[in-house]
Amino acid sequence: MRNTFLLCILLIAGVSCWWDGGHMMTAEIAKQEILARNATLYEQIEKYVTILNPLCDARSQDFVQAASWADDIKDDAMNFWYGWHFYDKPENPQGLYVILDQDNQVYNSITGIKRAIQELSRKYYLPLQNNLNISVQQAIMMRLLIHIVGDMHQPLHNVNMYNYTYTQGDLGGNKEKILLLNKTSMILHSYFDSGATRLDSFPRPLTQEKLSNLSALAYEFRAQYPRSYFGQRMNVTTPEQWAQESYDIAHNFIYPFVTKTNQITPEWDTESYEIIKQQLALGGYRLADILLGIFQNQTAPVNQTKSTNTQTNSTSNLRKTIIA
Ligand SMILES: *[C@@H]1O[C@H](CO)[C@@H](O)[C@H](O)[C@H]1NC(C)=O
Ligand SMILES: *[C@@H]1O[C@H](CO)[C@@H](O)[C@H](O)[C@H]1NC(C)=O
Ligand SMILES: *[C@@H]1O[C@H](CO)[C@@H](O)[C@H](O)[C@H]1NC(C)=O
Ligand SMILES: *[C@@H]1O[C@H](CO)[C@@H](O)[C@H](O)[C@H]1NC(C)=O
Ligand SMILES: *[C@@H]1O[C@H](CO)[C@@H](O)[C@H](O)[C@H]1NC(C)=O
Ligand SMILES: *[C@@H]1O[C@H](CO)[C@@H](O)[C@H](O)[C@H]1NC(C)=O
Ligand SMILES: *[C@@H]1O[C@H](CO)[C@@H](O)[C@H](O)[C@H]1NC(C)=O
Ligand SMILES: *[C@@H]1O[C@H](CO)[C@@H](O)[C@H](O)[C@H]1NC(C)=O
Ligand SMILES: *[C@@H]1O[C@H](CO)[C@@H](O)[C@H](O)[C@H]1NC(C)=O
């Protein structure tokens, strides 16, 4: 359901999850964080992205710009990965009888991140036919991981709001419109994807100037919201918790406001952008930590056992997941 509907919106509006600016910001912040620790290691990590370059178009030829690769392939042959872009926790203030999308219970951003980490942590027991020892699975998972960690930090990628207007869910604000300060109408979800409209001008492939502007902006975000700003939140390390944090923002900040009015105010607009900056910084730090965790302390190759797909369990037991 969501797939078809959202796909239509995306095709009509030509938009995507966190628009390119937001995704590249997360990746750029992660890049800066890893470079600061170990530049050689960063180069090694980026090879997992660039090894696929000959199979990709000009928009995703480096670590930062590849952050949107998952969107590049989404509308085409690879749309079975669609669910990995979000996690639909229900927001259900009016207590509707809601049947959750079964696919998203299994294939979502939480399971996607875990799967990518699992794959990237693996050593292959049969020699790979490239001198980097990077498998095709790992190359794909690296590109997906950079993207999904970003999406998970967009609050509206972690919620589906049901009420008597949106009995089938509002798809994380994709069915709702708000009025910007200049009275222009915008889809609520897109408002957050676009960084409260402030990060919507980074078309890929980036020019050199845009690249340095993005980089400068990432330094600003890190300076304004350093790791120390987040205190205990830096110790929150599971994708489940990150999704919950994002959901909480939607629950406590976004929906209470849009329930009252669809006309945003200067105060709410400013606060939204600050929250977005925080989320982008957090996403960048966490992405860096994931990658450092995988690659920094890699020891000699251990014998790999055959992959067990943690996602292929039957959904039959999940069909009971109905909330009142
Ligand atoms: C930096 O990373 C490289 C590549 O993984 C590693 O060989 C080197 O020991 C690391 N340096 C430090 C100081 O950790
Ligand atoms: C690739 O893996 C093999 C053994 O699995 C190892 O001997 C070789 O050093 C590795 N090469 C790189 C570039 O990591
Ligand atoms: C209204 O503001 C948005 C966001 O700043 C901008 O993209 C849009 O062009 C503006 N529309 C008009 C009619 O000024
Ligand atoms: C990049 O940043 C500079 C300095 O802040 C600014 O003057 C310029 O307009 C920006 N360029 C683009 C393309 O946004
Ligand atoms: C995070 O956890 C570490 C290790 O458990 C602890 O030393 C540190 O004080 C914690 N940081 C915060 C801000 O709570
Ligand atoms: C459903 O929620 C939206 C805000 O998210 C609000 O505009 C709308 O009025 C609500 N519908 C009902 C029937 O309460
Ligand atoms: C890597 O190992 C060093 C030394 O054992 C440790 O201090 C560091 O925290 C580890 N880093 C990660 C990301 O696991
Ligand atoms: C890995 O596999 C090889 C070949 O089967 C075997 O000789 C070796 O002992 C194994 N190493 C470990 C650590 O299990
Ligand atoms: C899949 O099923 C097995 C066996 O019932 C279980 O151990 C495992 O945790 C399940 N995995 C998931 C992701 O639910």
Q: What percent of the chain lies above the pLDDT cut of 90?
A: 78
In a domain, 321, yes or no: no
Distance CA 140, CA 297 (A): 22
Residues with CB under 6 A from ligand 3: 180, 182, 184, 197
In a domain, 231, yes or no: yes
The residue contributing the CA closest to ligand 8 atom 5 is 303
In a domain, 223, yes or no: yes
What is the tally of structural domains in the chain? 1
Distances (CA, A) of 51 to 39, 44, 66, 140, 142: 18, 11, 12, 10, 11
Q: Give the Å distance between the CA of 71 and the centre of ligand 7.
A: 33
Summarize the confidence of residues 116-127 as an average pLDDT.
89
Distance CA 40, CA 33 (A): 13
The residue contributing the CA closest to ligand 2 atom 8 is 133
Summarize the confidence of residues 155-184 as an average pLDDT.
97
**Closest ligand relative to 200 C-alpha:** 3
- Per-residue pLDDT band at 9 (split at 50, 70, 90): very low
Q: Per mean pLDDT, which of 56-70, 113-127, 296-310 is the most reliable?
A: 56-70
Mutate to test the pocket of ligand 4, among 206, 213, 215 (most ligand atoms within 8 A of CB): 213
In a domain, 77, yes or no: yes
Two structure tokens written together for 224:
């304004």
In a domain, 62, yes or no: yes
Residue 271 has pLDDT above 50, yes or no: yes
Q: Give the Å distance between the CA of 17 and the centre of ligand 3.
A: 20
- CB 34, CB 288: distance < 8 Å: yes
Q: Residue 41: CB within 6 Å of ligand 1? A: yes
Average pLDDT, the chain: 88
Mutate to test the pocket of ligand 7, among 296, 298, 299 (most ligand atoms within 8 A of CB): 296
Residue 11 has pLDDT above 80, yes or no: no
CATH code for position 82: 1.10.575.10
With left for phi above 0 and alpha for psi between -120 and 50, is residue 183 left, alpha or beta?
A: left
Residue 91 has pLDDT above 60, yes or no: yes
pLDDT in tens, 50-71: 999 999 999 999 999 999 999 9
In a domain, 322, yes or no: no
Residue 310 has pLDDT above 80, yes or no: no
In a domain, 313, yes or no: no
What b-and-e string marks burial along 1-14, b requiring 16 or more CB atoms within 10 Å of the CB? ebeeebeebbeeee
Q: What is the pLDDT of residue 298?
A: 62
Domain ranges, residue 92: 2-304
Q: What is the pLDDT of residue 17?
A: 59
Distance CA 290, CA 287 (A): 5
Residues in the chain: 324
Q: Residue 235: CB within 6 Å of ligand 8? A: no
Q: Residue 228: CB within 6 Å of ligand 5? A: no
Residue 261 has pLDDT above 60, yes or no: yes
In a domain, 230, yes or no: yes
Read off φ and ψ for residue 29, nearest 5 degrees: -65, -45
Residue 225 has pLDDT above 70, yes or no: yes
Q: Residue 297: CB within 6 Å of ligand 1? A: no
- The least confident of 79-83, 132-136, 264-268, 319-323 is 319-323
Residues with CB under 6 A from ligand 4: 209-210, 213
Summarize the confidence of residues 158-187 as an average pLDDT.
97
Q: What is the pLDDT of residue 77?
A: 81
